[in-house]
């Protein structure tokens, strides 16, 4: 295939409200980054694995990400930067060359970040992490040409990169002048990954929907489900709850099934809210099969009756399915609530009890009085007062930890 290269101006013109994104399907299947922005002290290795049946034979797939002590494991924001890099490759050369030219401002705009010094520096850290990690796939990398799961060992997602100060671009010529190549930043994809691009192991992704999701767990779940839904043949997916949470979403292995459901539920609700999956009660979504074993089910939400495009998902049409009026109340409040609930879900029962005691001790007098006066009878007013007291305290705990 002949290499395509759009100039910087053409790329910049297509960034605003970019929706027609791409995702590499090996990168969807297993997480390569932490779900949070901070790694636990001393954690330098991420390992995930699962078992599938391939041509009637049980196959164990395993992925290991090993980081350097200097830069650490990729985190949630590094994953977002990687997604932005994939979109830059789509915009700049349609995956026809491993070398992608860009400006950091273009990437910042794609990510929806503020144009600040922090954003520029954070992109540099992300590139260094994706270059310096050592990734090993054991029967977990899909070779799209040979149609088999194979090994890929000892590589980072990019081989090299160079960052240039985009402020110099203004001195490269007059208004609207295309800057010279040597003044642009660039990165070079690793050969394994670029070979997968060339084999066509890419899927369409509504990048605007992805970018506007508030939670990293929702972003991962959106990508994973969008890969595995296949309209009109596969509109319902069922997974082992622990396998989905631990091996494909990267949640903490310290969670029990109850904690998994609590941590996953805000992400599920966010995907329900944008109309991507059917909204169902928790008792229908989660099913207990036996001691310690649960499944979780997702159904693709169909388009409205009469819409002839119903058989084609929005992410493959290049459009955004906006939530109907009333499906979102206030994005900021909802995001804050989900963040607090995720924090609480990660705690043990003992710690949650301690948090409630701490929250009550430092609550406003009128809230504490309402709590105490209604504690004996319970009811919705008491529960709302209790929730407000705890959420205010947890919001302070989260703010203090940042």
Residue 351 has what pLDDT? 74
- CB of 140 closer than 8 Å to CB of 62: yes
- CB of 187 closer than 8 Å to CB of 84: no
Spatial CA neighbour of 139 closest among 64, 81, 209, 207: 64
The answer to whether the Cα torsion of 274, 278, 281, 283 is positive or negative is negative
- CB of 32 closer than 8 Å to CB of 65: yes
Residue 316 has what pLDDT? 42
- Domain locations along the chain: 8-207, 213-346, 351-402
Residue 353 has what pLDDT? 73
Q: How many CA atoms lie within 13 A of 349 on its CB side?
A: 2
Residue 52 has what pLDDT? 94
Element (H, E) at 399: helix 380-401
User: What residues have CB less than 8 Å from 300, skipping those under 6 apart?
Assistant: 225, 229, 231, 235, 236, 276, 277, 278, 313
SS (H, E, C) 215-263: CHHHHHHHHHHHHHCECCCECEEEEEHHHHHHHHCCCCCCCCHHHHHHH
CA distance 284 to 354: 32
Mark the ranges of the chain whose per-residue pLDDT is less than 70.
1, 166-178, 303-331, 348-350, 375-380, 402
CA distance 32 to 250: 8
Q: What is the pTM of this model?
A: 0.74
Residue 122 has what pLDDT? 97
Spatial CA neighbour of 395 closest among 349, 350, 367, 362: 362
Residue 1 has what pLDDT? 59
């Amino acid at each position: 295939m002949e290499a395509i290269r759009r100039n910087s101006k053409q790329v910049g013109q297509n960034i605003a409200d970019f929706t027609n994104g791409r995702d590499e399907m090996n990168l969807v299947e297993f997480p390569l980054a932490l779900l949070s922005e901070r790694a636990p002290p001393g954690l330098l290795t991420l390992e995930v694995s699962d078992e599938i049946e391939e041509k009637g034979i049980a196959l164990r797939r395993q992925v290991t990400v090993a980081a350097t002590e200097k830069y650490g494991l990729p985190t949630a924001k590094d994953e977002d930067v990687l997604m932005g890099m994939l979109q830059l490759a789509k915009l700049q050369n349609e995956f026809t060359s491993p070398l992608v030219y860009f400006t950091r401002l273009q990437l910042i705009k794609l990510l929806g970040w503020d144009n600040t010094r922090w954003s520029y520096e954070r992109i540099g850290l992300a590139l260094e992490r994706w270059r310096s990690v050592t990734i090993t796939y054991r029967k977990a990398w899909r070779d799209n040409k040979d149609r088999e799961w194979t090994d890929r060992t000892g590589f980072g997602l990019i081989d090299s990169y160079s960052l240039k100060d985009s402020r110099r671009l203004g001195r490269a010529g007059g208004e609207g002048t295309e800057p010279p190549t040597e003044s642009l930043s660039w990165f070079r994809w690793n050969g394994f990954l670029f070979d997968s691009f060339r084999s066509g192991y890419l899927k369409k992704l509504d990048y605007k929907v992805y970018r506007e999701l508030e939670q990293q767990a929702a972003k991962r779940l959106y990508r994973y489900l969008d890969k595995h839904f296949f309209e009109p043949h596969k509109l319902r997916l069922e997974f082992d709850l622990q396998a989905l949470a631990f091996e494909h979403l990267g949640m903490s292995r310290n969670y029990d099934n109850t904690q998994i459901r609590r941590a996953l539920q805000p992400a599920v609700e966010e995907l329900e809210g944008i109309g991507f999956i059917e909204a169902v009660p928790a008792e229908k979504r989660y099913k207990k099969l036996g001691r310690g074993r649960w499944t979780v089910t997702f159904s693709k939400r169909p388009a409205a009756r009469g819409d002839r495009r119903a058989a084609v998902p929005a992410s493959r049409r290049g459009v955004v399915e906006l939530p109907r009026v009333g499906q979102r109340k206030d994005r900021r409040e909802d995001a804050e609530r989900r963040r607090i609930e995720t924090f609480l879900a990660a705690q043990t029962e003992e710690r949650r009890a301690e948090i409630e005691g701490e929250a009550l001790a430092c609550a406003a007098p009128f809230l504490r009085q309402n709590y105490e006066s209604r504690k004996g009878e319970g009811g919705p007013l008491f529960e709302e007062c209790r929730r407000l007291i705890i959420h205010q305290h947890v919001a302070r705990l989260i703010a203090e930890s940042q």
